[in-house]
Amino acid sequence: LEPRGAVFVEMNGLRVVGTHLGLLRLWRLRQMKSILDHVWPDCSQTLIAGDFNEWSDIRGTEPWENDFSVLYPGRSFPARRPITSLDGFAYGSSISTMDDGVFRDPAASVASDHLPVWANFEVSA
């Protein structure tokens, strides 16, 4: 795979994955499939967060369609004048979103070329 990575952590049955997917759709789809292979078959308590690098509003997360809901909290790229939502979350059926957004602060646009996104989640037992 393209030299990108993902970090996996599991605590009390909740799996959290942080990732930075590739620039090309072919690589992103392969990377999503690889992440899915690591957490399948029970994705219900899995949360994936990161730069998904997907510019399309209508496609690009097909490997995750059956197992996850995908959330893009808002326009986060480029930080100085955001025009698209590249950063987001994918979460399983036991997880629901309570609130989400983009952290808009002048310091944030200096720290990175992406604005930070955030979300509050609730995990059902």
Domain ranges for the chain, please list them.
6-123
Residue with tokens 């369609």: 65
Q: Give the tens place of pLDDT for each residue, 100-121.
A: 999 999 999 999 999 999 999 9
Name the percent of the chain in helix, strand, coil, to the closest 5: 20, 35, 45
Q: Six-digit token pair at 20?
A: 């930075």
Q: Are strands 69-71 and 14-20 parallel, antiparallel or unpaired?
A: unpaired
The alpha helices in the chain, defined as continuous H runs, are 25-39, 106-111
Q: Give the tens place of pLDDT for each residue, 41-96.
A: 999 999 999 999 999 988 999 999 999 999 999 999 999 999 999 999 999 999 99
CATH superfamily of the 6-123 domain: Endonuclease/exonuclease/phosphatase (3.60.10.10)
Average pLDDT rounded to a whole number, residues 28-49: 96
